[in-house]
Structure 1
Amino acid sequence: MTVNGRNRRRALVVGGSTGIGRGVADAWADAGLDVMVLSRSAPTGAGADRLRWLATDLTDPAQVTGSLTAAVEEPLHAVCYSAVHYGGGRALFKDCDETEWRRQIDVNLHGLWLTLARTQPILRSAETPGVFLGISSEVVYNAGPGRSGYAASKAAAAALLDSVAQEETAEASDTEALRIVQALPAGMVDTPGIRRRRPQGFDYSTYMEPASFAPLARELAATAGAGLHGAHLVVDDTGVWYPAREKMPRSQSRRISSGTAS
């Protein structure tokens, strides 16, 4: 695809219709990238007309394969995996069922694996290094009660990206062929998924906005993640980011009892 006679860079955001993924998709579109979104629901609201969309349910293997095949038909320069399934609400392990667990694995982990498997060769074939951004969570560092499936699947996802990042470093000569970055919010983020779990009239004034990820997304678009390969970054509500090793993210775990959900 060309714009004003010049090649236009392409990006893919899995889980980009709402939440942090949408914040990344909008920022990449602002930076001039041709952005495709894979998600169950179509992007809506301001800026949605700039995003291409393929309906994709990450629990449907055939649909995921078809969407990713279409997404990699042209060169890719940036990919973000932001799809997430929290679950119906926080619940003790004894109150969770296998269906919920399998959905968390399908969305939080297996969908990431499929996306990496399909996009890694395309990102590595670009003339300049491609960048893969994985949206992580504080639960990777702060496993707590009521979040066993979410914590396990997100920790596994983080380990998967760490392992692939080390493989990219080992294979590179002077620079990484593909740069992998993980980023997580410093606090709770106001998203439709979170709002479905909160009571009517809940006060979201202390919550972050998805747009807080825009500065980092723009940096990755401009530099392809130069200097950030393998990093785990915490993004605060002002859009400032810092390495998680310098300041561990605040735990959002708390005590719960049987039947508690949020």
Structure 2
Amino acid sequence: MTVPPPPPAPRRALVVGGSTGIGRAVAESWARSGLDVLVLSRSEPSGEGAELLRWAPLDLSDAEATRTALDGAAAEPLHAVCYSAVSYGTRRAPFGEVEETEWRRQTEVNLHGLWLTLSATLPVLRRARSGLFLGISSEVVYNAGPGRSGYAATKAAAAALLDSVAQEEGSDGVRIVQALPAGMVDTPGIRRRRPAGFDYGTYMRPEHFAELAHELVTRGGAEHHGDSLVVDEYGRWHSVRVDVPVSQSRGVPA
């Protein structure tokens, strides 16, 4: 009797910062696309869809623990990685009112955490067929404004880091893609910065990123390598080279 070959091992994905918000939407989309998804984040994913995901704790302010967690995640084959961790800061405030501890936190999460994730996962992604690295960007990269100097600086640096890596990888290496929302997104992180009773009716929702995440992981993302894609409230997307997103900056109260 001929013994059938064992089924192929599931494709594996990693989402850093995937317990809520856009990262959570990407993680769920990849899981529903058939990938085995591990989320690394401070809080454990909960609610509907959480059962689709594996989770391990991660605090990006602890660099040594972060290296250990990322090395463990990269010990087995990886086919897709998303970096969605973000620190907005406690509130919009003039530069002179921002404490150094907040600046350091934004640097650790928005930039250094990305650097650590790339360092750990790029070698593994290179060994995968059509390895994909998706970075969640922001309109602030193109629209620096008052009251968010640390967020703007670190997100712009993160975008430049991924742009540079994309050029190093070339068309035959890991596909590096960035995605960002066309407007404000209703996420727990944003809600912590808004007053009670705030109307989120005009805000985008994280699930608007699900279709793009599905396409990138199923088609490989080769046609979007090195690009930044702006996702709108209908789940559609276009290159930032075609149209830069509208600024979400506003004046800072005196």
Q: Which residue, 76, 96, 99 being the options, matches 1:97?
A: 99
Matched residues in 2 for 1:229 and 1:25: separation? Answer: 20
Structure 1 consecutive aligned stretches of length 4 or more whose deviation exceeds 3 Å: none
Task: Give the equivalent residue in structure 2 for 1:172.
Answer: none
Partner of 1:56: 58
2:198 to 191, 195, 202: 202
CA distance in structure 2 between the partners assigned to 1:257 and 1:94 by the alignment: 14
Q: Secondary structure at the match of 2:156?
A: helix
Q: Where does residue 191 of structure 1 map in the other structure?
A: 187
- Hey, what's the Cα distance between the residues in 1 that align with 2:173 and 2:150? 33
Helix, strand or coil for the counterpart of 1:202?
coil
Q: Which residue of structure 2 aligns with residue 248 of structure 1?
A: 244
**Partner SS state of residue 208, structure 2:** helix
Superposed, 1:1-262 pairs within 5 Å as 5-126=7-128, 128-169=129-170, 175-258=171-254
Q: How high is the sequence identity, in percent, across the aligned residues?
A: 66
Cα shift readout 1:90-140 (whole Å, capped 9, x = no counterpart) = 0000101110000000000000000000000000011x1200000000000
**TM-score, scaled to structure 1:** 0.93
Quick one: which amino acid aligns to residue 125 of structure 1? R
- The number of aligned residues is 249
CA distance in 2, matches of 1:94, 1:257: 14
- CA–CA separation in structure 2 for the residues paired with 1:125 and 1:144: 40
Alpha-carbon distance in 2 for matches of 1:66, 1:50:
24
CA separation in 2, counterparts of 1:89 and 1:97?
A: 11
C-alpha distance in structure 1 between counterparts of 2:87 and 2:172, whole Å: 31
3-state SS of paired residue (1:163): helix
SS at 1:227's partner residue? helix
Task: Name the aligned partner's letter for residue 135 of structure 1.
Answer: I
Secondary structure of the structure 1 residue equivalent to 2:222: coil
Letter in 1 for 2:152: A
- Give 1:245 shift: 1.5
Q: CA offset at residue 257 of structure 1?
A: 2.8
SS at match of 2:124: helix
Instruction: Assess if the C-alpha contact under 8 Å between 1:35 and 1:52 holds in 2.
Output: yes
Q: Distance in 2 between matches of 1:140 and 1:103?
A: 18
- The whole-number CA distance in structure 2 between the counterparts of 1:224 and 1:79 is 12
User: What is the RMSD computed on CA atoms of the aligned residues?
Assistant: 0.9
Q: Is the 8 A contact 1:92 1:257 kept in 2?
A: no
